[in-house]
């Protein structure tokens, strides 16, 4: 087979045939090329039967690309190979052998919506209150347990003494029982049940071990515990395991990925061969040097140094903005200039940010200049569910006859109002010739609606009509505050305890910022005018979105992509890195890997920007430059604007911002005019901790100590809302609560 197109390291990886092999593939180093050539080499040079080869990817798109590339190299043999995602391969195994553990060939697979519906059935059966614990919370928690291979029985053994876990334990058990009786599996079960099959029936496992002599895994750094176990069991007989990945690009801890799988590869597979792919085919050397310098701050990683034969290229362009609007204007002006000078087309630009809420001000700046754009992997600001919900509330206040808006929000947040209730309410409204909202005024007269349901509808009516009466006397911002407080939308999302819910909360506070900016422009800033202006603005957004515009996306969504010119924005403490990394080293390391991913998306030109001040949770507050800016080699930086990076870092003072004050608004967000206090100094604690202690943390909330490491002075704590954290009690604000 012709390998002339491969570099030395790539050839070494492709020509390695026997035993466990880890290919540490740096960003842009041609890992897919290596994987496909290695499989083709096995078939063409060693006469390996295609049917004895398995290749595992994380997406169907990646699997299809791999198949087409292999076919281009050695012809149509991929039909005999098993190439697919973890889930699709497990489905094939369970369709064939799932009967051993009680599943027919015709079992059904429940998607997220099916899963939610089944959990809702369990809620009703157990008389659980969705207002107290949203269904999504338990849905998220069940998935986390399965990714960590924790059965209901194992969870009960570990947490049976904790009264806060009793409802979840009962629900988890019932959910699994109902899945089994329905002959159904959710996505996480596909892996769990395959592993269960292998453990209970070794002869089945041996059949697949004999069949698959060569196993390949792409993006190995993203595997969770269940995926790790699946691969380990299948490869145990022949040990011909070929995995490709990069620990420096492990950014999915929040969805179960365990970086230890790739870091401990030699321990798990003694005698393993390690091949490093360090030559980059994407970026200029200046961009690579910047990335290398930042990621080297992570301890315990596999050392590698990306390099390229390409030119050094442009320096990294740095800009400190006064605030987020100034940052957005700078970005748009740079895009216009580069296009005008013929350096790039509008499709060459990507703007990368840490949170979805950051897109709003960027979208507005692009719209003002009529630059088409597309939000990738997410919705535009005014199309996001939580924003549309609040806007529907506003519309209903202004126009009580808007039944469309009424139906959207009558059960948002959840008020346990079902379809039958809506039908009865609608019939009552038709009978009286009124709107649905007006029908709520006499809800206690409607047959079939009573008790808590009637009270919830009456309270909804009271909130809407009470705020409607203030439309001519109150500012839009005051009405927003009363609405959000009255319907408890923030609290409802906080109960979900998920990344998605945190993002929705951020977007709600961003809407508060939009309203405050509107108020500054208006002499009489009422809600009616705000609604008219914003509706027009969101309609313009829909016109602007086209397929060939500037791309906006989160850093997580950018992984695996590349762009000629990249803006890496919002490099500020408690934004990027996020507030969760303030005293959690593992979180900080993951955020640094995310920064590395962002930097290495750029091919020719990279901008890094941050704001000196930012509207955050409805308050205008000073911001500190990100620790990642401090880790960047200033020799690689070209300053755009009046402030140098060195000056910005020198002037930054810890007292300017407090992580405690930042989080406070989520508990009580409606005191924008209260003077912000400096954070109290956290002194070295004299407390002693022991496994089982219940504790509280000022940001992460309540939790329980799992282990105490006296050598490294760290505590491992399971927090109710934020999972497992390793913290230093001498630094972190932790208190024992009993």
Q: Which residues contact 100 (CB under 8 A, 6 or more apart)?
A: 197, 200, 201, 204
Contacts of 648 (CB under 8 A, 6+ apart): 320, 610, 612, 625, 629
Q: Could you give the CA distance from residue 129 to residue 397 in angstroms, rounded to a whole number?
A: 29
Cα separation, 658 vs 115, whole angstroms: 40
Residue 261: burial class (beta carbons within 10 Å; 0-12, 13-18, 19+): buried
Residue 318: how many CA atoms within 13 Å on its side-chain side? 26
29 is in an annotated binding site: yes
Helix intervals (H) in 126-240 = 135-147, 152-159, 166-181, 187-200, 202-211, 225-234
Tell whether 602 is in a known binding site: no
Note if 218 is an active site residue. Answer: yes
409 with 396: CB under 8 angstroms? yes
Say if strands 602-611 and 373-375 run parallel, antiparallel, or are unpaired: unpaired
Give the separation between CA 584 and CA 596, rounded to whole angstroms: 19
Catalytic annotation on 31?
yes
Q: Which two tokens stand for residue 715?
A: 């505590």
Burial 197-231 (b: 16+ CB within 10 A, else e): bbeeeeebbeebbeebbbbbbbbbbbbbbbbbbbb
Query: Which residues in 362-463 belong to E strands, given as ranges?
Result: 373-375
Which residue of the set 32, 85, 540, 634 is catalytic? 32
Of the candidates 193, 601, 614, 623, the residue annotated as catalytic is 601
601 is catalytic: yes
Is 80 in a helix, a strand, or coil? helix
Catalytic residue status for 32 = yes
Using omega within 30 degrees of 0 as the cis cutoff, is the peptide bond preceding 717 cis?
no
Per DSSP, the chain holds a count of helices (H) and strands (E) of 30, 22
Which residue in 97, 188, 218, 589 is the catalytic one? 218
Query: Are residues 609 and 287 in contact, defined by beta-carbon separation less than 8 angstroms?
Result: no
Radius of gyration of the chain (CA): 28
Residue in 36, 227, 249, 334 annotated catalytic: 249
Active site residue 194: no
Q: Are 615 and 513 in contact (CB under 8 A)?
A: yes
Spatial neighbors of 188 by CB under 8 A, at least 6 apart, are 142, 143, 146, 147, 226
Burial class (CB in 10 A: 0-12, 13-18, 19+), 718: middle
- Report d(CA 685, CA 707) in Å as an integer: 17
Instruction: Say whether 186 is catalytic.
Output: no
User: Is 25 assigned to a binding site?
Assistant: yes
Sorted by sequence, the CB contacts under 8 Å of residue 221 that are 6+ apart come out as: 245, 246, 247, 249, 250, 257, 259, 261, 262
Q: Which string of DSSP letters, residue by residue, matches 276-295? A: EE-B-SSS-HHHHHHHHHHH
Report the largest interatomic distance among the alpha carbons of the chain, rounded to a whole angstrom.
Answer: 83
Tell me the C-alpha to C-alpha distance, in Å, between residue 568 and each of 372, 555, 573, 709: 19, 9, 14, 37
Q: Is 32 part of any known ligand binding site? A: yes
26 is in an annotated binding site: yes
Phi, psi dihedral angles at 615 (to 5 degrees) = -75, 120
Residue numbering of the annotated binding site for ATP: 25-32
The residues assigned a catalytic role are 31-32, 218-219, 249, 601
Residue numbering of the annotated binding site: 25-32
């Amino acid at each position: 087979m012709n390998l002339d197109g491969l570099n030395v390291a790539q050839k070494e990886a492709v020509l390695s045939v026997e035993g466990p092999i880890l290919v540490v593939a740096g960003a842009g180093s041609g890992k897919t090329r290596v994987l496909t050539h290695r499989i083709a080499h096995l078939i063409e040079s060693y006469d390996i039967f295609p049917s004895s080869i398995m290749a595992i990817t994380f997406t169907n798109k990646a699997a299809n690309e791999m198949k087409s590339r292999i076919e281009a190299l050695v012809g149509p043999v991929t039909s005999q190979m098993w190439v697919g995602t973890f889930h699709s391969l497990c489905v094939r195994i369970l369709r064939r052998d799932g009967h051993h553990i009680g599943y027919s060939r015709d079992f059904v697979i429940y998607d997220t919506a099916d899963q939610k519906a089944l959990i809702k059935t369990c809620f009703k059966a157990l008389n659980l209150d969705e207002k107290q614990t949203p269904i999504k919370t338990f849905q998220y928690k069940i998935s986390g347990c399965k990714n960590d291979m924790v059965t209901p029985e194992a969870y009960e053994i570990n947490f049976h003494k904790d009264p806060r876990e009793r409802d979840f334990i009962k629900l988890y058990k019932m959910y699994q029982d109902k899945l089994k009786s329905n002959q159904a599996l959710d996505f996480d079960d596909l892996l769990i049940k395959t592993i269960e099959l292998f453990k209970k029936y070794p002869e089945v496992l041996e059949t697949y071990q004999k069949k698959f002599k060569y196993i390949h895994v792409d993006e190995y750094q993203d595997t969770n515990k269940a995926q790790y176990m699946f691969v380990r069991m299948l490869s145990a007989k022949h040990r011909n395991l070929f995995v490709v990945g990069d620990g420096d690009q492990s950014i999915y801890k929040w969805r179960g990925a365990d970086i230890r799988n790739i870091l401990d590869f030699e321990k798990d597979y003694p005698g393993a061969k390690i091949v490093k792919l360090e030559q980059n085919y994407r970026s200029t050397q200046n961009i690579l040097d910047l990335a290398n310098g930042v990621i080297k701050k992570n301890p315990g990683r596999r050392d590698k140094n990306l390099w390229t034969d390409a030119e050094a290229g442009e320096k990294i362009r740095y800009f400190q903005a006064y605030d987020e609007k100034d940052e957005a204007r700078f970005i748009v002006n740079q895009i216009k200039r580069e296009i005008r000078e013929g350096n790039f087309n509008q499709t060459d630009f990507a703007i990368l940010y840490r949170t979805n809420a950051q897109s709003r001000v960027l979208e507005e700046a692009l719209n003002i200049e009529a630059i088409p754009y597309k939000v990738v992997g997410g919705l535009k600001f005014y199309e996001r569910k939580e924003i549309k919900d609040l806007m529907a509330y506003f519309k209903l206040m202004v126009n009580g006859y808007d039944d469309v808006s009424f139906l959207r929000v009558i059960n948002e947040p959840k008020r346990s109002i079902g379809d039958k209730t809506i039908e009865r309410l609608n019939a009552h409204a038709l009978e009286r010739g009124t709107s649905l909202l007006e029908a709520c005024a006499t809800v206690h007269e409607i047959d079939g609606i009573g008790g808590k349901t009637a009270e919830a509808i009456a309270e909804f009516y009271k909130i809407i009509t009470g705020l409607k009466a203030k439309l001519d006397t109150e500012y839009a911002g005051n009405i927003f505050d009363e609405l959000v407080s009255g319907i408890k939308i923030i609290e409802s999302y906080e109960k979900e305890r998920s990344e998605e819910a945190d993002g929705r909360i951020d977007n709600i506070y961003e809407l508060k910022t939009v309203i405050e900016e509107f108020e500054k422009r208006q002499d009489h800033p009422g809600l009616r005018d705000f609604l008219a202006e914003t509706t027009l603005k969101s309609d313009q957004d829909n016109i602007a979105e086209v397929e060939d515009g500037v791309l906006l996306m989160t850093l997580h969504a950018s992984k695996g992509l590349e762009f000629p010119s990249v803006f890496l924005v919002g490099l500020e403490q408690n934004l990027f890195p996020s507030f969760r990394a303030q005293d959690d080293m593992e979180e900080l390391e993951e955020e640094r890997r995310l920064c590395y991913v962002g930097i290495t998306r750029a091919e020719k030109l990279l901008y890094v920007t941050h704001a000196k001040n930012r509207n955050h949770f409805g308050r205008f507050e000073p911001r500190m430059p990100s620790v990642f800016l401090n880790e960047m080699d200033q020799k690689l930086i070209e300053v755009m604007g009046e402030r140098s990076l060195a000056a910005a870092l020198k002037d930054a003072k810890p007292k300017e911002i407090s992580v405690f004050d930042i989080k406070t608004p989520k508990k009580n967000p409606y005191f924008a005019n209260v003077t912000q206090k400096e954070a109290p100094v956290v002194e070295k604690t004299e407390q002693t901790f022991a496994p089982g202690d219940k504790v509280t943390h000022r940001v992460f909330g309540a939790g329980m100590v799992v282990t105490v490491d006296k050598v490294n002075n760290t505590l491992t704590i399971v927090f109710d809302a934020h999972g497992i954290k390793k913290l230093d009690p001498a630094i972190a604000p932790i208190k024992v609560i009993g």
